[in-house]
């Protein structure tokens, strides 16, 4: 496992000006490496001819391109520029607005009026979530405050992102990230203090490197510039030894990164295996600012830290021997922590005892320990307790560590118990005599253990004494448990009720003030014994209570015979045959069958009863109105209606000459109404009628009936349907009969026969089957002398036949004529007038 611990290492660099010395932001021990991306907001080098416009960009970008096996662990965003960081404090990075977690401010010259700053923001989560891609830095505009910097050509702005990643296939190393606002400005010849890299144990020199990020460098203005590591001047292909601050970027290879340097140097030839420290000197006659420094060296050291888990014993009265449980860790390390590391205990920052660890702790491991520490009386009862690991009164550090600044544990504030404590117990509620009494607690609410005496007694009030167990600095205490005697509940009696009567709820508080509940539920139908159970905590006994419920008597009455609707109905009796008085409802009704309810007078314990009086509806005789022909004396009125009602008529004999009204009166005892009907005497209007037929050979043959008298008639052709129209349409050829009926009640009809409709066959089939083998106009049989002439379609006469002969057999001169249309002409008489008719017919074979 690999761990990261953030701490600060304070180092001086330049003493003539005000800066913030670089200090350790974070240390990573393990298979870690890093990459730096960023960009300048200066479009040109400040020192060039012609002099560039004094203006800073507000937006730039850079790309991150990690390999798939390089997993991001941390990402620190820095931006640095003119001013003190209070102008335009919010920047936007890939669409997310940020304000700095920390700002470092410095100025290059004593009493200078211009400031510079560097800002730090931890954006690890954003970079992990985004991963590779283009990162945009924008919305930082320092141009409104640039004027004071333009005259000396010292305006700059830029940003850089330090990304630390884990890569399992590389060697372990110690990777340190330092930040602040260090100034390299030797113009005043005040001397330079080296930057020390301590806490090393170099195990290999390969891959050792440093990276610094510097601002305000120039390839056009430089003097007395150098980077020295362990006395060796550093240089590479981008950074000459005399001009390392020249606007270059080792990660992109750019040499136009104006006024910003992101430079990496190989220092493997400047260190040796076994080195425990290194020093770095950054020097320049001109003003350069260094906000970030990164070192990566294969160093293997443990890192001892300690944490107090628990302290016990202070709660024991007068006890000064405390049991301390704690854990020693070796987390952010590249080497095991050996055994016999001193662990020192400090009370109020005074060493009182040191012990040594008993075993080594592996990389990423821990060791749980416990020791009893005696606290001298001179420290009193209130003090602080701390542990320092790898530290004793004699030796400040017995084991070289990667971080010597994190050996102190968390601080414990201790208060020793000295005064006697009174055990506290919750009061016990009074109980009723004989009730269950729970055992008293053997540990008080404030943590005192002990015993009680005497034994519990649930029959009488008793005082109990609690005696604490020895060694607790606690006093005894007493507790009284009250035992109340039981009380018998009393209630007023309830008078007997009739079955079904309303039963008032029983009181839930007795006459002597005991509250409780009754069971079972109230029953107003039968005598019941009820039990009263007092509510808990009243020390009262239960009691029983009987409520008598008298059975109801059912009143009896003599039945009332059915009556006819509308007959008089006698009043019902108000006293039953078994002596129950009361009243009836609803009011008597002699028009329809009704159920009446008898309600007994209050106080008789009698139930209501019902009596139904049937009202027989009056039947209506169902005689129909009658129509008769005048002078019809054969009709007489029936004394029994169709629905079976017997009665008599007034008048009793029908006058067959005059229409009138007749009233039927039912015989008594039948519950029937009278009925009056009208008998209509109709005159005979149908005497005779005439018939007109349409012309022979009409396409729609009709028969029209003509009646000279006014009346209501209907008409029938042959045995067909009777119709109201006097005209028959599409009548077939041949002889017919017509019947006329008078419809007004008189059963009169007249029939005329031998009505002739003349037409001709439209085709014939002379095939010898006995059907339609010849053609003639048989409907002219009453005119036997009428000749009929038959022609072919060309007008050739084929045959002359008569209306009474066999007709034409479809031959000519003994030869069968073909299937075709043929014509005929006929001269005939109609209505005493000579007529001539021609038409075609078909021969089909």
In whole angstroms, give the CA distance from residue 830 to residue 782. 11
pLDDT of residue 515: 92
CATH architecture of 304-415: Sandwich (2.60)
Q: Looking at per-residue confidence, does 213 or 433 come out higher?
A: 213
pLDDT of residue 64: 98
pLDDT of residue 520: 95
| Residue-wise burial string across 591-602, b where 16 or more C-beta atoms lie within 10 A, e elsewhere | eeebebebebee
Q: Are the CB atoms for 165 and 70 separated by under 8 Å?
A: yes
Q: How far is CA 230 from CA 102, 204, 281, 648, in A?
A: 31, 16, 9, 153
The answer to whether residue 123 scores a pLDDT higher than 50 is yes
Q: Are the CB atoms for 298 and 203 separated by under 8 Å?
A: yes
pLDDT of residue 326: 92
* DSSP string covering 296-340: EE-B----EEEEEEEEESTTSTT--EEEEEEEEEE-S-SSPBPS-
In whole angstroms, give the CA distance from residue 491 to residue 799. 136
Q: Are the CB atoms for 107 and 114 separated by under 8 Å?
A: yes
Q: How many CB atoms lie within 10 A of CB 191?
A: 9
In whole angstroms, give the CA distance from residue 538 to residue 514. 7
Place 196 in a pLDDT band, splitting at 50, 70 and 90: confident
% the chain with pLDDT above 70? 96
pLDDT of residue 3: 31
pLDDT of residue 835: 81
44-49, long-range: CB within 8 Å, 24+ apart, which pairs? 44/258, 45/218, 45/219, 45/220, 45/247, 45/258, 45/259, 46/153, 46/154, 46/155, 46/156, 46/216, 46/218, 46/258, 46/259, 47/153, 47/218, 47/220, 47/221, 48/220
| Fold for the domain defined by 690-757 | Immunoglobulin-like (2.60.40)
Q: Which among 183, 158, 189 has a CA at the least distance from the CA of 287?
A: 183
pLDDT of residue 105: 93
Which residues, including other chains, have CB under 8 Å from residue 20's CB and lie 6 or more apart? Answer: 104, 105, 106, 180, 181, 182
Place 1 in a pLDDT band, splitting at 50, 70 and 90: very low
* DSSP code for 17: S
pLDDT of residue 6: 30
* DSSP string covering 218-236: -SSS-SS-EEEETTEEP--
The answer to whether residue 190 scores a pLDDT higher than 50 is no
Cis peptide before 54 (omega within 30 of 0): no
What are the φ and ψ backbone dihedral angles of 129, each rounded to 5 degrees? Answer: -70, -35
Which residues, including other chains, have CB under 8 Å from residue 241's CB and lie 6 or more apart? Answer: 226, 233, 234, 235
The answer to whether residue 746 scores a pLDDT higher than 80 is no
- Mean of pLDDT values over 368-376: 93
- Mean of pLDDT values over 27-53: 93
In whole angstroms, give the CA distance from residue 27 to residue 404. 12
Q: Which residue has the tokens 């409802």?
A: 585
pLDDT of residue 12: 28
pLDDT for 307-323, tens place per residue? 999 999 888 777 889 89
Which residues, including other chains, have CB under 8 Å from residue 68's CB and lie 6 or more apart? Answer: none
In whole angstroms, give the CA distance from residue 336 to residue 334. 7
Which residues, including other chains, have CB under 8 Å from residue 845's CB and lie 6 or more apart? Answer: 765, 766, 767, 810, 816, 818, 819
Q: Which of 313-317, 592-596, 685-689 has the highest mean pLDDT?
A: 592-596
- Mean of pLDDT values over 18-35: 91
User: Does 690-757 match 304-415 at the fold level?
Assistant: yes
The answer to whether residue 193 scores a pLDDT higher than 80 is no
Q: Which among 222, 320, 214 has a CA at the least distance from the CA of 257?
A: 214
The answer to whether residue 391 scores a pLDDT higher than 80 is no
In whole angstroms, give the CA distance from residue 1 to residue 329. 13
Q: Are the CB atoms for 185 and 288 separated by under 8 Å?
A: yes
pLDDT of residue 189: 45
Element (DSSP H or E) covering residue 706: strand 703-706
Q: Are the CB atoms for 207 and 173 separated by under 8 Å?
A: yes
Which residues, including other chains, have CB under 8 Å from residue 456's CB and lie 6 or more apart? Answer: 437, 439, 440, 462, 464, 481
Average pLDDT of the chain is: 87
Q: Looking at per-residue confidence, does 472 or 64 come out higher?
A: 64
- Mean of pLDDT values over 816-822: 91
pLDDT of residue 397: 62
In whole angstroms, give the CA distance from residue 658 to residue 661. 10
Query: Going by CATH, does the domain composed of 763-843 fall within 1.10.3470?
Result: no
Number of H helices, E strands in the chain: 2, 61
In whole angstroms, give the CA distance from residue 343 to residue 341. 7
CA atoms in the 13 A half-sphere facing the CB of 637: 26
pLDDT for 229-250, tens place per residue? 999 999 999 999 999 999 999 9
Q: Are the CB atoms for 468 and 476 separated by under 8 Å?
A: yes
The answer to whether residue 675 scores a pLDDT higher than 50 is yes
pLDDT of residue 5: 28
pLDDT for 646-673, tens place per residue? 989 999 888 888 888 999 999 988 888 8
Which residues, including other chains, have CB under 8 Å from residue 207's CB and lie 6 or more apart? Answer: 170, 171, 173, 268, 296, 298
Q: How far is CA 711 from CA 193, 627, 657, in A?
A: 149, 15, 18
The answer to whether residue 11 scores a pLDDT higher than 80 is no
In whole angstroms, give the CA distance from residue 500 to residue 607. 9
* DSSP string covering 656-693: TTS-EEEEEEEPTTS-B--EEEEEEEE-------EEEE
The pTM assigned to this predicted structure is 0.48
% the chain with pLDDT above 90? 45
The answer to whether residue 449 scores a pLDDT higher than 50 is yes
Q: Which among 326, 307, 309 has a CA at the least distance from the CA of 410?
A: 307
Measured between alpha carbons, how far apart are the two ends of the chain, in Å? Answer: 118
Which residues, including other chains, have CB under 8 Å from residue 392's CB and lie 6 or more apart? Answer: 342, 344, 351, 354, 398
Place 331 in a pLDDT band, splitting at 50, 70 and 90: confident
In whole angstroms, give the CA distance from residue 392 to residue 346. 10
pLDDT for 753-763, tens place per residue? 878 787 888 88
Length in residues, the chain: 845
Element (DSSP H or E) covering residue 130: helix 124-130
The answer to whether residue 10 scores a pLDDT higher than 50 is no
In whole angstroms, give the CA distance from residue 131 to residue 134. 9
What is the Rg, in whole angstroms, of the alpha carbon atoms belonging to the chain?
A: 67
Q: Which among 223, 247, 220 has a CA at the least distance from the CA of 39?
A: 247
pLDDT of residue 712: 86
Q: In what order do the strands lie in the sheet with 382-389?
A: 350-356, 342-347, 382-389, 412-415
Domain ranges of the chain: 9-297, 304-415, 431-484, 487-550, 563-616, 626-682, 690-757, 763-843
pLDDT of residue 393: 54
pLDDT of residue 90: 95
| Residue-wise burial string across 511-530, b where 16 or more C-beta atoms lie within 10 A, e elsewhere | eeebebebeeeeeeeeebeb
- Mean of pLDDT values over 7-33: 67
Strands 450-453 vs 412-415: parallel, antiparallel or unpaired: unpaired
* Strand, coil or helix: 492: coil
The answer to whether residue 606 scores a pLDDT higher than 60 is yes
Place 107 in a pLDDT band, splitting at 50, 70 and 90: confident
Q: Are the CB atoms for 755 and 735 separated by under 8 Å?
A: yes
């Amino acid at each position: 496992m690999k761990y990261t611990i953030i701490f600060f290492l304070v180092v001086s660099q330049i003493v003539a000006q005000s800066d913030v010395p670089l200090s350790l932001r974070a240390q990573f021990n393990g298979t870690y490496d890093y990459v730096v991306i960023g960009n300048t907001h200066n479009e040109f080098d400040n020192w060039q001819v012609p002099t560039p416009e004094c203006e800073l960009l507000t937006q730039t970008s850079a790309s991150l391109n990690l390999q798939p096996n390089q997993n991001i662990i941390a990402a620190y965003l820095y931006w640095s520029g003119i001013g003190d960081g209070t102008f335009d404090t919010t920047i936007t990075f890939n669409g997310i607005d940020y304000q700095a977690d920390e700002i470092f401010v410095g100025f290059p010259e004593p009493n200078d009026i211009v400031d510079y700053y560097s800002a730090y923001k931890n954006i690890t989560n954003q970079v992990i979530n985004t991963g590779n891609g283009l990162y945009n830095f924008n919305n930082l505009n320092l141009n409104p405050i640039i004027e004071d910097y333009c005259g000396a050509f010292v305006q700059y702005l830029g940003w850089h992102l330090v990304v630390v990643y884990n890569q399992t296939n590389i060697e372990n190393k110690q990777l340190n990230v330092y930040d602040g606002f260090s100034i390299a400005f030797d113009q005043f010849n005040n001397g330079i203090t080296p930057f020390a890299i301590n806490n090393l144990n170099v195990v290999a020199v390969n891959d050792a490197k440093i990276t610094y990020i510097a601002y305000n460098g120039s390839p056009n203005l430089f003097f007395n510039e150098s980077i020295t590591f362990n006395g060796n001047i550093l240089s590479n292909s981008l950074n000459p030894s005399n001009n390392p601050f020249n606007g270059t970027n080792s990660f992109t290879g750019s040499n136009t990164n104006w006024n910003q340097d992101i430079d990496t140097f190989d220092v493997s030839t400047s260190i040796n295996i076994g080195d425990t420290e290194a020093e770095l000197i950054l020097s320049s006659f001109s003003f350069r600012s260094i906000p970030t420094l990164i070192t990566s060296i294969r160093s293997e050291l443990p890192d001892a830290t300690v944490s107090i888990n628990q302290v016990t014993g202070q709660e024991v009265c007068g006890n000064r021997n405390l049991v301390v449980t704690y854990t020693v860790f070796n987390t952010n390390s590249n080497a095991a922590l050996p055994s016999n590391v001193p662990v020192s205990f400090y009370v109020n920052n005074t060493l009182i005892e040191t012990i040594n660890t008993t075993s080594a702790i592996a990389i990423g491991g821990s060791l749980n320990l416990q020791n009893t520490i005696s606290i001298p009386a001179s420290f009193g009862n209130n003090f602080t307790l701390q542990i320092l690991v790898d530290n004793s009164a004699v030796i400040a550090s017995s084991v070289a560590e990667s971080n010597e600044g994190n050996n102190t544990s968390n601080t414990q504030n201790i208060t020793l118990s000295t005064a006697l404590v009174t055990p506290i117990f919750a009061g016990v509620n009074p109980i009723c005599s004989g009730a269950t009494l729970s055992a008293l607690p053997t540990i008080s609410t404030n943590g005192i253990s002990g015993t009680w005496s005497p034994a519990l007694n649930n029959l009488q009030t008793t005082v109990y004494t609690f005696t604490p167990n020895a060694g607790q600095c606690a006093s005894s205490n007493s507790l009284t448990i009250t035992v109340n005697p039981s009380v018998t509940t009393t209630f007023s009696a309830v008078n007997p009720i009739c079955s079904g009567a309303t039963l008032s709820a029983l009181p839930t508080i007795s006459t002597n003030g005991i509250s409780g509940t009754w069971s079972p539920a109230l029953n107003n139908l039968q005598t019941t014994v009820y039990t009263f159970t007092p509510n808990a905590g009243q020390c009262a006994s239960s009691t029983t209570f009987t409520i008598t419920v008298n059975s109801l008597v059912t009143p009896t009455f003599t039945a009332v015979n059915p009556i006819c609707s509308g007959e008089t109905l006698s009043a019902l009796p108000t006293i039953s045959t078994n002596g129950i008085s009361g009243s009836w409802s609803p009011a008597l009704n002699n028009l329809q069958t009704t159920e009446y309810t008898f309600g007994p007078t209050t106080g008789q314990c009698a139930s209501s009863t019902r009596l139904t009086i049937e009202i027989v509806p009056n039947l209506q005789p169902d005689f129909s109105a009658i129509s008769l022909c005048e002078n019809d004396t054969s009709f007489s009125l029936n004394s029994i209606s169709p629905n079976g009602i017997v009665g008599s008529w007034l008048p009793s004999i029908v006058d067959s000459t005059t229409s009138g009204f007749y009233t039927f009166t039912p015989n008594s005892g039948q519950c029937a109404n009278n009925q009056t009907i009208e008998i209509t005497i109709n005159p005979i209007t149908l005497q005779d009628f005439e018939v007109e037929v349409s012309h022979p050979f009409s396409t729609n043959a009709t028969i029209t009936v003509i009646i000279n008298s006014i009346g209501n008639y209907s008409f029938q052709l042959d045995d067909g349907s009777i119709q109201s129209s006097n005209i028959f349409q599409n009548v077939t050829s041949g002889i017919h009969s017509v019947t006329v009926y008078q419809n007004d009640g008189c059963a009169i009809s007249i029939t005329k026969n031998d009505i002739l409709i003349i037409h001709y066959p439209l085709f014939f089939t002379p095939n010898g089957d006995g059907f339609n083998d010849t053609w003639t106009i048989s409907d002219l049989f009453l005119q036997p002398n009428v000749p009929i002439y038959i022609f072919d379609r060309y007008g050739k006469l084929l045959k002359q036949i008569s209306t009474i002969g066999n007709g034409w057999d479809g031959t000519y001169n003994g030869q069968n004529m073909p299937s075709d249309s043929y014509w005929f002409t006929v001269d005939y008489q109609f209505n005493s007038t000579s007529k001539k008719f021609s038409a075609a017919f078909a021969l089909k074979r």
